[in-house]
């Protein structure tokens, strides 16, 4: 089983820390579908140090989410250490993760995220400074390199291990690739073979079979699932069960999808106010509807919704329409 420091997971399936997605409402919903570890979206070290209200709200963790990894990012050692110390002493996160993979320019131009990939020495220095000042295990999420000419994944992973990092999550794409192209699993295997700390593989795990194949081909200790779980926490459950038994769990009905979507919405409303939650939920609802016939028209209606009642009304109408169409066939 996957173990990071002294934190033991129930299985090898990990929810990736997706920015703008992985708040407590989404994480808890995925956790209930069996994820061994859930990761919070990245949080600015400066936001924590300055006690920014929006940032502090992002630190909320429901105790049912544990074990949980909380991710911070930053480009300066002092503020990164201070933020890590705050998370260590003032949150119920189990693991402190440092972001070294975010490819977006507003993060990299601050010498944060994927910018670190170019300098193994900086990685060692930054990670060592954090591990020296906190009690919780420290991990790093990184990409395989900046571009095809600067792939230092093995050197970077070794630097993390030497600095006291307890695990590495590796996305098999470069910063330049963003989310395009194909993830390189060979480099994930190479990194796994070059360090003694746990390695979690990430990239192109779209089905339970992909997860099994990644474990078998690379030897990683855990499999990280990101975009495949959007609107589809069943993917997590199906993967956990497939890895345990080799058997497939059937796809959920439309009714089941909408019930979980509504639960997710209600959790988001209790986390934020109704107005913000409904607007944020529009994209999630569209993901939940993927694969349901006639969803394009419904997605347009969802984008006009401003209240819980409106959104739930649109979703319930969809269920009724689908179930009504199924009736004659049942007879």
- 207-213's contacts with Cβ under 8 Å and 24+ in sequence apart are 207/235, 208/235, 208/238, 208/239, 208/241, 208/242, 208/243, 208/248, 209/242, 211/13, 211/239, 211/242, 211/243, 212/242, 212/243
Lookup: tokens for 170:
């590796």
Q: In 203-248, which ranges are E strands? A: 222-225
> Tokens 């069996």 map to which residue?
34
What is the torsion angle, in degrees rounded to the nearest 10, for the CA atoms of residue 85, residue 86, residue 91 and residue 95? -30
Catalytic residue among 102, 110, 261, 305: 102
Give the distance from CA 100 to its chain's centroid.
14
Lookup: tokens for 318:
């969809």
Short-list 284, 283, 273, CA closest to 308:
273
Sorted by sequence, the CB contacts under 8 Å of residue 276 that are 6+ apart come out as: none
- 102 noted as active-site residue: yes
Do the strands 13-15 and 68-73 form a parallel or antiparallel pair, or are they unpaired? Answer: unpaired
- Helix (H) / strand (E) element for 44: namely strand 43-44
Measure the CA–CA gap between 237 and 125, rounded to whole angstroms: 38
Short-list 294, 285, 282, 291, CA closest to 318:
294
Q: Are the C-beta atoms of 37 and 222 separated by less than 8 Å?
A: yes
**What is the DSSP secondary-structure string of 116-159?**
GGG-HHHHHHHHHHHHTT-SS-EEEEEEEESSTT---HHHHHHH
Measure the CA–CA gap between 219 and 222, rounded to whole angstroms: 9
Q: Which residues are known to be catalytic?
A: 102
């Amino acid at each position: 089983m996957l173990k990071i420091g002294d934190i033991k997971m129930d299985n090898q399936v990990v929810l990736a820390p997706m920015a703008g997605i992985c708040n407590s409402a989404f994480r808890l919903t995925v956790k209930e579908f069996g994820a061994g570890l859930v990761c919070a979206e990245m949080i600015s070290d400066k936001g924590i140090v300055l006690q920014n209200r929006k940032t502090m709200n992002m630190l909320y963790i429901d105790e049912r989410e544990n074990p949980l990894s909380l991710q911070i990012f930053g480009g300066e050692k002092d503020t990164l250490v201070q933020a890590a110390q705050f998370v260590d002493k003032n949150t119920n996160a189990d693991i402190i993760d440092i972001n070294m993979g975010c490819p977006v320019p507003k993060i990299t131009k601050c010498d944060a995220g994927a910018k670190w990939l170019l300098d193994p020495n900086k990685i060692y220095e930054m990670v060592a400074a954090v591990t020296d000042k906190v009690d919780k295990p420290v991990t790093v999420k990184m990409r395989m390199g900046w571009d095809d000419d600067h792939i230092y994944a093995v050197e970077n992973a070794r630097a993390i291990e030497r600095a006291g990092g307890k695990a590495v999550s590796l996305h098999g794409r470069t910063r330049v690739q963003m989310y395009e192209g194909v993830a390189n699993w060979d480099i994930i295997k190479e990194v796994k073979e070059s360090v003694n700390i746990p390695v979690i593989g990430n990239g192109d795990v779209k089905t339970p079979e992909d997860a099994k194949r990644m474990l078998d081909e690379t030897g990683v200790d855990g499999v990280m699932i990101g975009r495949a779980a959007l609107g589809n926490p069943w993917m997590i459950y199906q993967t956990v069960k497939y890895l345990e038994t080799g058997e497939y769990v059937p796809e959920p009905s439309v009714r089941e999808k909408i019930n979980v979507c509504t639960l997710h919405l209600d959790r988001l409303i209790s986390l934020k106010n109704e107005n913000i939650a409904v607007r944020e939920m529009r994209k999630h609802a569209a993901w939940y509807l993927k694969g349901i016939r006639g969803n394009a028209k419904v997605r347009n209606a969802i984008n006009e919704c401003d209240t819980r009642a409106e959104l739930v009304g649109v979703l319930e109408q969809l269920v009724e329409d689908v179930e009504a169409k199924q009736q004659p066939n049942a007879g």
